[in-house]
Structure 1
Amino acid sequence: MLYRVEGIVIRSMDYGEGNKIITLCTATHGKIGVLARGAKKVKSRHAALTQPFTYGEYTFYRQKEGLGTLNQGEIIESHFSLREDLYSAAYASYACELLDRTLQDEEVGSFWFNQLKACLDGLSAGKDPEIVIHLFEMKILQAAGYGPVIEECLSCGRQDDTHFISPRLGGRLCRSCRHHDPAAMKVAPGTYKLLSLFERMDLRRLGNAEVRDSTKAELKKVMRAFIDMQLGLQLKSRNFLDQLDKYEI
């Protein structure tokens, strides 16, 4: 059967002497694997279509199960700038791997696709990569069914002036309910405000934000704890980001 879909390349791997297998995140067919014959060859008409982060229209043949075979395609947005810069590539790779490991094969939903596209567009546009990625992490948690409860206490529904966040339980605890998780983190008002905004905001609406380094550091700690506690993923791309942070000047 012939398929024509818009998709983003979230994974690309060599296969055999001259071929590549790409994994596409699509709005209409979920996550799909496609074989691009000859794509490793420099003069291949498919070479550019298989580059990581590429957003394009892909036409491929596929049986009911297994890989599709790429017939033709057209690039809509290459996101070349993300591949030529080490830090941008690291953040984009993390976003793609996080989605790839969380999204089940052919789990259909345009939300996943739209948030990834907005994430890559935001990184390409030079928006603060840490803010873009942490908002994307929040959207991934929500799409996977583990979205944190930030606006009110997840135990009693109360809203008070304390900001205790429990990644283990999945959200905010008020002063009276903090005993449910003594390890809950008390976060600064600025961090809580961002978390509350992230809970409600679509990534496509994110503008240019200026956030203090101390707030970003605390936000990173909180979001990483949510990802670890709720998804339990070991991601190579995140380890690489950590190594870059150590050597950043």
Structure 2
Amino acid sequence: MTTGVRRRMGVEERRQQLISVALELFSHRSPEDVSIDEIAAAAGISRPLVYHYFPGKQSLYEAALRRAADELAGRFVEPREGPLGARLLRVMGRFFDFVDDHGPGFSALMRGGPAVGSSTANAMIDEVRQAAYEQILAHLGISDPPARLALVVRSWVSLAESTALIWLDGRKIPRAELELQLVHDFAALAAVSAAYDEEMARILLDILALEPPDGLFAELVVRLGALAPAPAPAPPPETVPGQRSPSPWP
């Protein structure tokens, strides 16, 4: 009878395995609820061996956060082809794929989890936000954004993050609707800013010039137009006292 022999892993390979195992566990439960013993059991090694590769759960947690942050930042990478609205919708689809698959891990990454106060964890969070910010600017073809555009993009990145965190608490709104709404939110933020600033108005016009008539931004205009009240009927023409109103018949 032949018995299987467990292959011995190298140091870096074992570290990466532990990070993968920890990230998987953190993705389904809050990190504070996951023990080193569970991580060791899932990896098929002893508890002391986990400590051989990582000083403690905090360091393993931060290594898992590092991988999650890199993966999340990569979700904002999108070929610069086609209308901006369609590009943003694809980005939001990949972003919510990550949120959906790694709910507790995403919450821990954005809220800090047990790493509250950790400069390493905070730096990772800032890196994700900065990567998203830079990707959006790249899609706009602007490397040195004016202050109002920088405000719009950073506000939108923050909005996407907070929307995802709220959505995770019960998933009460269909995900596809939120993805589309966030694309429309970007257009709305830009439009409001354009109403106050000529430079933003030019940027917005450049964006809209590349959008098809049936594109996502045009859909927002249609939706908003449907909310406008119908115009009141015109009053009948006044007549001179004593004069008969004109007959509608020939």
Considering only CA atoms, is the larger Rg found in Structure 1 or Structure 2? Answer: 2
**Greater share of strand residues, 1 or 2?**
1
TM-score normalised by the shorter chain: which range applies? under 0.3
TM-score (ref. length: structure 1)? 0.25
| Structure with greater contact order relative to length (CA < 8 Å, sep ≥ 6) | 2
